[in-house]
Amino acid sequence: MFLFSFFKIVHIIAGFAALLVFWIPVVTKKGGKTHNRIGWVYVVSMGVVALSALYMGVWRIGFDPDRTADSTAFAWFLIFISLLSSASAWHGIRVLRFKKRVAAHRQLADLFVSALLLISGVAISAYGFLIDFPLLSYFPFIGIFLGATQLAYWLRPPNRRMHWWFEHLGGMLGCCIATVTAFTVFGAPRLLGVDSVSIVVWFMPSIILVPVIIGFSVYYRKKFSASKSA
């Protein structure tokens, strides 16, 4: 129990650190010193969040003597959030390393991470429908979509200019969706002093941030196209 409490504290600290610093790389000059340094602070924080969430989820399912059906369902959600955040961050980093590729990508580690996100999304969603738990039923669709698009990106030769830039942006914002969603599901009810919040609130980060990802992609696609024309 002491180890669980330790990981919980570490998880909360790292989660708040990630929430505080995430928007700095978004608004600062891309590739600049601040962007890179704060970006790594965010990635490391999210790595700690993912590992601690994985531990707590597994402990709740396998070792918690007071576990209930609801706590088990939330534990599976916590595990999926850890996979979603870590897979998105991994993808966002790896695309930068292979930004000069001109052929399909066959690195086993990258394909495995994306496939794991896709498969786990399908499995958790099926489990959610089985136990009639809306959060687990529908939220994994994000992981299914991201895992599928990541695999499509790796397995096809690049077909647009600055392809790696858009994938990096999508990966990091996808990681942000996981962070903010976890906060609304686990942190917000405790701060508000209530047992739970509306399902709409749980999905609010996705409702807000998915259009942000699309908006950024459209904006920079036009910007890069204009630069190429000039």
Residue 72 identity (one-letter amino acid)? T
Sorted by where each begins, the domain ranges of the chain are: 2-102+158-229
Can you tell me which residue has the tokens 């917000």? 188
Q: Report whether 150 contacts 164 (CB < 8 A).
A: no
Of 28-42, 65-79, 111-125, 199-213, the poorest mean pLDDT is in 199-213
Contacts of 132 (CB under 8 A, 6+ apart): none
d(CA 26, CA 133): 34
Q: What are phi and psi of 38, to 5 degrees?
A: -70, -30
Mean pLDDT value of segment 62-67? 88
Of 15-24, 134-143, 204-213, 215-224, the poorest mean pLDDT is in 215-224
Report pTM.
0.84
197-217 pLDDT, tens per residue? 567 677 777 777 778 777 777
From residue 38, give the alpha-carbon distance in Å to each of 26, 28, 44, 45, 172. 10, 10, 10, 10, 13
From residue 201, give the alpha-carbon distance in Å to each of 54, 166, 209. 23, 28, 13
Residue 127 identity (one-letter amino acid)? Y
